[in-house]
Amino acid sequence: MGIFDRKKPDKAGDKTAQGGFLGLFKRGLEKTSQLLQTDVRDLFKEGDRLVDDDFLNELFAILVKTDMGAGPAAEIRDKIKADFRSRKIEMADALQTVKDQLLELMQQPEAPIDRAASGPTVILVVGVNGSGKTTSIAKLTKMFINEGSQVVLGAADTFRAAAVQQLTIWAERLGAEIVKGEPSSDPASVAHRAVARAIELNADVCIIDTAGRLQTQTSLMQELGKIRRVIGKQIPDAPHEAILVLDATAGQNGISQARGFSEAADCSGIVLAKIDGSAKGGVVIPIRREFNLPVKFVGVGEQAEDLALFNAHDFVEAMFAEHFAGQR
């Protein structure tokens, strides 16, 4: 399946496209899979294990290290306890049960970008400062352009000149049109002009970058609410997507900081950035629970091509990918 949700799955053919992201996930989840490999091997270093309290506690401790949360880790532990109680378990069987359970916990329908019925698809991108918004926009832009779409970017993070500059560099490099404003100008007016330009050019996609540093919850609500209203007047149903960008390395604190953005922008999905900087790939589970939003894409590096459409099966496979000496 491509980046757009065309509401018409291309027969059974979407499996091939999904497979294409496995390599990106493997690279992005290298730290997570290395941690899991080492710890799981340690667990079985003296051979098969009796499934007793010691074993179950050790397994629980490993699972919790991936940031999946104590609840899900306990569910997986209890499943192994129920299936193998007081018997010996081989490493391969333990791994398979953990993978099966993780897949169940992470399962969600693949969620590409919701496309406008007609006219440009407008995507609003929000999140805390430094979470990876601008970089994720560059990555999405590259995916759209690769699919043959024309993209207009709106630099509505007018707080910092550097932010506009960063988006401008990406736009030039990737071949997207960019609309900017004066420093400190009204972000909603930049968003308005960007959407107007997208309509004028008959572009396929318009992506609006926003500021991650806002003084108060009230100003956040006001600013993002105003941007939404302005865009909605130009194109009915716009923004078609409001994407919350989360930093996978930020921990529980960073995640709760993002809640305000999610609410203020009435978000429709998540881009989980910087999974490559973290050994905590299990964080997808608490994130999904906390925000009740689909994880649409995962950022696996700083380059424009380092973005993968989230797919639970490939993600779990990559968490447990094996590493051999010398392999990168």
Ligand X SMILES: Nc1nc2c(ncn2[C@@H]2O[C@H](COP(=O)(O)OP(=O)(O)O)[C@@H](O)[C@H]2O)c(=O)[nH]1
Minimum CB separation of residue 301 from ligand X in Å reads: 5
Q: Which stretch binds ligand X (CB under 6 A): 38-46, 68-76, 270-278, 319-327?
A: 270-278
Examine residue 131 and tell whether it contacts ligand X (CB under 6 A).
yes
**Site residues for ligand X, window 135-194 (CB under 6 A)?**
135
d(CA 176, CA 305): 15
Q: Which stretch binds ligand X (CB under 6 A): 74-82, 180-188, 197-205, 269-277?
A: 269-277
Q: Which residues, 6+ apart, have CB-to-CB distance to 259 below 8 Å?
A: 290, 291
Q: How far is CA 98 from the centre of its chain?
A: 22
Residue nearer to ligand X on the CB measure, 61 or 169: 169
Binding partner of 112, given Mg ion, ligand X, none, CB within 5-8 angstroms per partner class: none
Find the helix or strand (DSSP H, E) in which 39 lies: helix 30-43
**With left for phi above 0 and alpha for psi between -120 and 50, is residue 4 left, alpha or beta?**
beta
Residue nearer to Mg ion on the CB measure, 133 or 240: 133
Q: Residue 218, class by beta-carbon neighbours within 10 Å (0-12 exposed, 13-18 middle, 19+ buried)?
A: exposed
The count of residues in the chain is 328
**Site residues for Mg ion, window 161-180 (CB under 5 A)?**
163
Residues in contact with ligand X, total (CB under 6 A)? 19
d(CA 92, CA 99): 11
CA distances 74 to 41, 141, 180, 327, Å, are 20, 40, 49, 33
Residues 153 and 177 sit within 8 Å (Cβ to Cβ): yes
Six-digit token pair at 80?
């192994």
Q: Which stretch binds ligand X (CB under 6 A): 110-118, 216-224, 236-244, 274-282?
A: 274-282
DSSP, res 13: G
Examine residue 158 and tell whether it contacts Mg ion (CB under 5 A).
no
Q: Which of 228, 274, 288, 296 is in the footprint of ligand X by CB under 6 A?
A: 274
Six-digit token pair at 325?
């000496």
Q: 295: which strand partners?
A: 270
Examine residue 214 and tell whether it contacts Mg ion (CB under 5 A).
no
Q: Which of 277, 290, 313, 317 is in the footprint of ligand X by CB under 6 A?
A: 277
Minimum CB separation of residue 188 from ligand X in Å reads: 18
Chain residue at closest Cβ approach to Mg ion: 134
DSSP, res 245: E
Site map (CB under 6 A) of ligand X, residues 284-303, x = contact:
---------------xxxx-
Contacting residues toward Mg ion, per CB under 5 A? 133-134, 163
Contacting residues toward ligand X, per CB under 6 A? 127, 129-135, 212, 245, 273-274, 276-277, 299-302, 306
